[in-house]
Amino acid sequence: MFTVGAVVAVALIVLTAACTSAAAGDGRRVEEGGGDAARGEVTYDGRALVVKGTRRMLFSGEMHYTRSTPEMWPKLIANARKGGLNVIQTYVFWNVHEPVQGQYNFEGRYDLVKFIREIQAQGLYVSLRIGPFIEAEWKYGGFPFWLHDVPNITFRTDNEPFKQHMQRFVTQIVNMMKQQGLYYPQGGPIIISQIENEYQMVEPAFGSGGPRYVRWAAEMAVSLQTGVPWMMCKQNDAPDPIINTCNGLICGETFVGPNSPSKPALWTENWTTRYPIYGNDTKLRSTEDIAFAVALFIARKKGSFVSYYMYHGGTNFGRFASSYVTTSYYDGAPLDEYGLIWRPTWGHLRELHAAVNLSSEPLLFGTYSNLSLGQEQEAHIFETELKCVAFLVNFDKHQSPTVVFRNISFQLAPKSISILSECRTMVFETAKVNAQYGSRTAKVVESLNNIHTWKAFKEPIPEDISKDAFTGNQLFEHLSMTKDETDYLWYIVSYKYRPSDDGQLVLLNAESRAHVLHAFVNTEYVGSVHGSHDGPGNIILNTNISLKEGQNTISLLSVMVGSPDSGAHMERRSFGIREVSIQQGQQPLHLLNNELWGYQVGLYGEGKRIYTQEEASSVEWTEINNLTYHPLTWYKTTFAAPVGNDAVALNLTSMGKGEVWVNGESIGRYWVSFKAPSGQPSQSLYHVPQHFLKPTDNLLVLVEEIGGNPLEITVNTVSITTVCGNVNELSSPALHTQGKDPEVRLRCQRGKHISAIEFASYGNPAGDCTTFSTGSCHAALSESVVKQACIGKRGCSIPVSPAKFGGDPCPGIQKSLLVVASCR
C-alpha cells in the first residue's frame, strides 16, 4: 500500500514549499490541498493520517476566520505556508452562524466556505473542528445563547433537546462542505474533522450520561460519511474509529497516547503562548520551548500531526471574547494580531519543520528504538534500510553534556533536542535560534487632541421604574434578561428614606455575580466594583451614599465582560445582582431583594445604535467641555486613515473601560484602567483592520463606563522597524537555503527596505538583539560588509565565514555575526 518512493516525493514537495516561497509571492498553489478529481478517502494507521495512499507528516496552524477579515486571509495563509505548514486548522463558530434559531449568517468574516477555498487555493489542507462546543475563549463556548432557553435542555450530555440541535447544526455544516466539494475525497482540502472539544474535562459531572453522550457524538459524526477521519481532543476513551488527540504545552510528556495501536499520535493544540486576560501581564512562551515540545512529541510519541494553537490569534471583535479575555488574542503567536512576523518563533519553527520533513521517510516508515545517553539524556531513533534520523534529547536545564551516539560525540545545549539527519549530521537544535528577531513599533500618526472635533453624549441613567420594559419583585439573572446581546443590564429600585436625628451614615451594599457593578443614586454616580478572571465569583460593593428625604432611586448597572466559555452545565450558570441592602446607622438591615425592581436591557445609546453613521444623529451630542473623566459617557470624532499599508491601531491608554466602534464596526471591548501587576494595562493598542477604514472622515465612537480622556487617544501605525540576526559559525546552515555556511538572514516586511545598519560585528559580540556591543574580537570590515550586502534592499543574507570579512580576526576564538538593522 505504501511505497518509499511516494514518501520521498511527498517529503520533497513539503520541503520545497518553504524553499520556494519567496519566489511564489502571492501566487496560488494547489499541489497540496486540493483541486484534483476524487482521490479516495483519507484514512489512518498507527503512524499517521494516510492521504492519497501515503502517510503524511503534517504541521498545522490554527487561525480563526472570525478573528480576522477576509482581506487579511490570503496573506495570513501565505505566511503560514512559508512557515512550513501544510494544514490550517479552525473551529466552526455556531453562534456567529446561527445567532437566531433558524436564521443563518455566512457573510463577511463569517464566510467559512470562502476561508476554506482560500486555504485550498494556496495548496494547504484543512482540519475542521466543528465541535460545536469549542471553548476557544469565545463567548458561551461557541453556543448560540438561544440554546439556553430551549425547554428541558442540558448541554453536552445524553439529553434529547441538546442532541437534536447539535446534530442538526453539525449535519448542516457537513452538508455545506459536501455541497461545496470541500472534503478531500471530493477534491477539496478538508482531511480531518473534530467532534466535541475537551469533553473529558467535564464528563464526570454528567454521571452515566457522559459516556453515553460520547458514544452518541462519535456515532453521529461517523454516520455523516465525510470520507475523512474524525477526532476528539482530550478524550482518552474516544470510541473507534474516532482518534483521541492531545491538547497542551508538553504533549510529548503528558499524552497517554492513542487508545488503539491502529490510531496515530496527533497533537491538536500546541499552545504557542497563553491567552491574555484583563488584569494580567502578557506571558510569552519562548521559541526554544515550543520547538523542544514539538520535537519531543515527534520523537517520544511517534507524532505525525502537530497543530499550533494559535498560529495567528487575531482580534476578538465586538463582544465575542469570553469572560475577562482581552480583545487582542494570542498576539505572541508566530503571526501576531496584525499578521506580522516579528518574534523568532516563525522562523525557528520553519527550520524545525524543514528538518523533520527532511527525514519524513524514516519517521513515518522506519523502525523505532530508543536508548539512554545519560541520567537526563536519551536518544530516539527511526530507521529504514536506507534512511535514519535520531533525536538526541537533553532534559537538563543547566548543563551542556557531551554524549556519544554511534561513535560520534555531540555537545547538547541545556534543555534541547538535536535532530541528526542520517543519524550523524546535526541539522537542527531546538535551543539555538538562528532565525530573525524583530522589533514591533507603534508610531503615532494622528493625535485626536482637538477638543473642537469631539462631541459627547451622556448616557441617561434610568430612574423611572414605570417606564421600564420589565419589572418584578425579585432580582433577575443577568444573561436570562440580556440573552447575551449586550454586556449591560440596569437594575432600578425606589427607596423611601426617612432621615434620623443623629445624621448617621447610610450604607449601600450590593452583591453580584457579574463582572462589574456601577451604582448611581438619583442619577449621581456613587461607586463601582469589579472582579477578575481568577478571583472570587462574586463581587461586593459597599459605599456610603447621600439620600434625600422621601423617594430615592437606586440604579445599578450590572456588566458582563464576556460570557463563560467552559465548564459543565453552562446553561445553569447564574450571573447578575444577587442581593441589595441599605444600612441606615444602627437600624436593622433593609433588604431590597423583594422590592419592585425595574429592568432596562442594554444602554440607551446601544439601543439607538448611535455608534453608526446612520443613527449617530438620533441623539443630541454636545461639546465635550467638562465631560472628560465622566462615567457613562459616549464620545465621537472623526479621523483620516493613515497613508500606506501598515497595520492601524488606536492607543486607548487614556481611557477607562468600555467599547469602541470605527465606522459602525466594533473593534472590541477595552479596559485599560484594569492594570496588570506591572502597572501597565493588559492591552493598550486596539487593532483597526484596514478594511474598516475609508480615506477620510472615519467615525470613531466610544462608550466609556468609568471615565477617561478621549483627547489623548492616538491613531497609530504598527510595523516591524528593526530586524536582527545573531548566528554562530558552528550553527547548522539553514535547510531552506542553498548555502554551505550558516548565515544571518534579514528581511523587512513588505513595502519596507533596510535603511540603516545600527550594529554589525563579526567576532565575539556581547549581548543580543536588544542590548549589544563589540567584544574583544571584532572584524574591522563588519559594518562595511553588511552595509554593502543589505542597505536599500528588502532582504539580505551574510555568510558567517571569515572569508566574507577579510579573514579570521582572531584565530582560535569561536565567532558569531550579530547584525541589527532598521526597516523603513
Cβ-contact 142, 133 below 8 angstroms: yes
**Angle at 241 (CA atoms; ends 240, 246), nearest 5 degrees:** 85
Q: Does the pLDDT at position 3 exceed 50?
A: no
- Run of H or E residues at 95: helix 94-97
Q: Quick one: 599 exposed, middle or buried, by C-beta within 10 A (0-12, 13-18, 19+)?
A: buried
Average pLDDT of span 556-580: 98
Helix (H, G, I), strand (E, B) or coil at 310: strand
* pLDDT value, residue 13: 35
Tens of pLDDT, residue by residue over 123-171, are: 999 999 999 999 999 999 999 999 999 999 999 999 999 999 999 999 9
Average pLDDT of span 386-411: 98
Q: Which amino acid is at 614?
A: E
DSSP letter for 740, please.
S
Q: What percent of the chain has pLDDT above 90?
A: 92
Q: Which three cell numbers stand for residue 479?
A: 444573561
Q: Does the pLDDT at position 35 exceed 90?
A: no
* pLDDT value, residue 34: 57
Q: Which amino acid is at 239?
A: P
Which pairs count as long-range contacts for 366-372, CB under 8 Å and 24+ apart, including other chains?
368/302
Cβ-contact 21, 79 below 8 angstroms: no
Q: Does the pLDDT at position 500 exceed 90?
A: no
Q: Does the pLDDT at position 549 exceed 90?
A: yes
* pLDDT value, residue 499: 86
* pLDDT value, residue 103: 97
Cβ-contact 507, 544 below 8 angstroms: yes
> Do the bridges between strand 125-131 and strand 190-195 make them parallel or antiparallel, or are there none, so unpaired?
parallel
Which has more pLDDT, 467 or 442?
Answer: 442
Q: Does the pLDDT at position 18 exceed 70?
A: no
Q: Does the pLDDT at position 724 exceed 50?
A: yes
Q: Give catalytic residues, as residue numbers.
A: 198, 269
* pLDDT value, residue 467: 85
Sign of CA dihedral 693, 698, 703, 704: positive
Residue 573 gets the label, from left (phi > 0), alpha (psi -120 to 50) or beta, of beta
Average pLDDT of span 231-255: 98
- Run of H or E residues at 754: strand 754-763
Give the up-direction half-sphere exposure of residue 380: CA atoms within 13 A in the CB hemisphere. Answer: 18
Contacts of 612 (CB under 8 A, 6+ apart): 661, 664, 699
8 pLDDT band, cuts 50/70/90, is: very low
| Distance, C-alpha 108 to centroid of its chain | 20
Tens of pLDDT, residue by residue over 752-802, are: 999 999 999 999 999 999 999 999 999 999 999 999 999 999 999 999 999
* pLDDT value, residue 137: 98
23 pLDDT band, cuts 50/70/90, is: very low
Cβ-contact 719, 752 below 8 angstroms: yes
Q: Does the pLDDT at position 2 exceed 60?
A: no
Nearest C-alpha neighbor of 360 from the set 54, 57, 124, 15? 57
Nearest C-alpha neighbor of 556 from the set 530, 577, 578, 532? 577
Cβ-contact 106, 97 below 8 angstroms: yes
Q: Which amino acid is at 718?
A: V
Q: What are residue 291's phi and psi, to 5 degrees?
A: -65, -40
* pLDDT value, residue 502: 65
Bridge partners, 496 (sequence order): 551
Average pLDDT, the chain: 94
Q: Does the pLDDT at position 501 exceed 70?
A: no
Q: What is the pTM of this model?
A: 0.94
22 pLDDT band, cuts 50/70/90, is: very low
* pLDDT value, residue 504: 78
Q: Which three cell numbers stand for residue 92?
A: 466552526
Q: Does the pLDDT at position 73 exceed 80?
A: yes
Tens of pLDDT, residue by residue over 608-640, are: 999 999 999 999 999 999 899 999 999 999 999
Helix (H, G, I), strand (E, B) or coil at 243: strand
Which pairs count as long-range contacts for 406-415, CB under 8 Å and 24+ apart, including other chains?
412/377, 415/288, 415/292
Place of cell 541545556: 414
* pLDDT value, residue 473: 97
Which has more pLDDT, 29 or 132?
Answer: 132
